[in-house]
Amino acid sequence: MVGKLKTKTVYACQKCGYQSAKWLGRCPDCNSWNTLEEELQLKTGLQSGVSSPDLPPLPISQVGGEAEMRLPTGISEFDRVLGGGLVAGSLVLIGGDPGIGKSTLLLQATDHFAKASGSVLYVSGEESARQIKLRGARMGVNASDLFILAETSLEKILTHAQRMQPKALVVDSIQTVFTSALESAPGSVSQVRETAGRLMMLAKGSGIPVFLVGHVTKDGSIAGPRVLEHLVDTVLYFEGDSGHPFRILRAVKNRFGSTNEIGVFEMKEGGLFEVKNPSELFLSERPLGVSGSVVVATLEGSRPLLVELQALVTASSLGVPRRTTIGVDHNRLSLLVAVLEKKVGLTLSGQDIFLNVAGGVKLNEPAADLGMVTAVASSHLDKTVDQHTLLLGEVGLAGEVRGITQPELRVKEAAKLGFSRCILPAGNLKQVKAKGMELIGVRSVEETLEKAF
């Protein structure tokens, strides 16, 4: 039985979901300014829901531990990021910048999924069915069991889903969907939280896997309250620069698999295409015989990626020289430049330094430090590094070269692509065995530069 409807006015932060009975200029929870907006909520006297019978606590040894059944999406790179495939009843949130390829990936994946597993319901709140049809025709999407629905009402979406019982459901995007139980605008904190919660109940109750597409804010995080990311089972982010054709799909949360795996795609006219060997693609346009260019190996989950680092050092005409980076941390470059000046004796205080990771890849791990200092020194001294040389290692403030994780995996990937020489920390030499690869162990930045040039 449902009780009498009551109305309640609250001020909700549109960034974190904090609620207050009165308006505040600054959110006490996330410290954001002017983010509290008035929302009219409807509350029932009694909470409705599905009650489950009381179950006694069980010892963990008696809890069933059957492995989750995986459903392949038809795109191996997508399956890799999901942890091996799609789990029945899972709720997956995909975020990324506008136009990066979220809808394209899901349209291609659901096309393969519908041909292999059965009917799929694709709900779009931003495009008409005709627009999706035109985009799908360009990518060769023609599955007869892929059903398109242009709708933003949550109640109508749930009605169609319960009637069809599809094998998978896609909602593009969650910020456009609204429920009539709330009077706030679509995309508000209350609407996003309520609609996502209702879709989660559908997924868990019926076993239908649900994909949600989420808009992102200017700082790159998914728009709406953080509770949205806590609510879902898996959160995937699409990364990439609009000026580059490469896209990286990364898992930042996954209840059914590892969060270390990435999927690499290339955007073409016909949609997104899988990149089976991303290292070869990233190095395909590498210039040879020029100073400031080195190759490093970064580890993304269990997959090693070889990428090119490019540095340009030139005399500055400014009072404060510039330190510009693309793909690496700006503060990390400043730290390594200070090490080169203090420990090696290079005069860089009057030089503009530009550092770029070719291909639009972002390097976050310290294993690229040795490549960064070598690239800067190579450009400053105008000395080239042999094109078949790989550099690995973390650099400390004392100028020492520290060991890295899984060096053998990185070296083997380089050997496959024709690299014959690797400069790495001396502490990692015992962990690496690679045929046809000359391994040079170094203990300091100064020793590295002597071996590299």
pLDDT at 49: 40
Query: pLDDT class for 65, splitting at 50, 70, 90?
Result: low
Return the percentage of the chain with pLDDT > 90, whole number. Answer: 59
371 sits in which H/E element: helix 369-381
> How far apart (Å, rounded) are the C-alpha atoms in residues 163 and 159?
6
Domain 69-276 indexed as CATH 3.40.50.300: yes
Query: pLDDT class for 42, splitting at 50, 70, 90?
Result: low
Query: pLDDT class for 217, splitting at 50, 70, 90?
Result: low
Ordered DSSP codes for 27-78:
-TTT--BS-EEEEEEEEESS-------------GGGS--PPPPEE--S-HHH
For residue 3, count other CB atoms closer than 10 A to its CB. 11
Residue ranges for the known binding site are 96-103
CA angle 226, 228, 231 (to 5 degrees): 115
For residue 131, count other CB atoms closer than 10 A to its CB. 13
Residue ranges for the known binding site for ATP are 96-103
Contacts of 393 (CB under 8 A, 6+ apart): 367, 369, 370, 401, 402, 403, 404, 423, 424, 425, 442, 448
Q: Are 106 and 213 in contact (CB under 8 A)?
A: yes
Q: Are strands 293-300 and 303-315 parallel, antiparallel or unpaired?
A: antiparallel
SS3 of 340-396: the string is HHHHHCCCCCCEEEEEEECCCCCCCCHHHHHHHHHHHHHHHHCCCCCCCEEECCEEC
Domain 281-452 indexed as CATH 3.30.230.10: yes
**Range with the lowest mean pLDDT among 4-13, 115-124, 227-236?**
4-13
Residue pointed to by tokens 């994946």: 109
The model's pTM is 0.76
User: Does 228 score more than 60 pLDDT?
Assistant: yes
User: Does 47 score more than 60 pLDDT?
Assistant: no
Minimal CA–CA distance to 194: which of 163, 155, 245? Answer: 155
In the three-class reduction of DSSP (H, G, I as helix; E, B as strand; rest coil), residue 198 is classed as: helix
Region class of 110: left (phi > 0), else alpha (psi between -120 and 50), else beta: alpha
CA torsion sign for 332, 337, 338, 342 is positive
pLDDT digits (tens, 9 = 90+) for 307-348: 999 999 999 988 899 999 999 999 999 999 999 999 999 999
How is residue 284 annotated by DSSP?
T
> Region 33-56: what's the mean pLDDT?
62
CA torsion sign for 302, 308, 314, 317 is negative
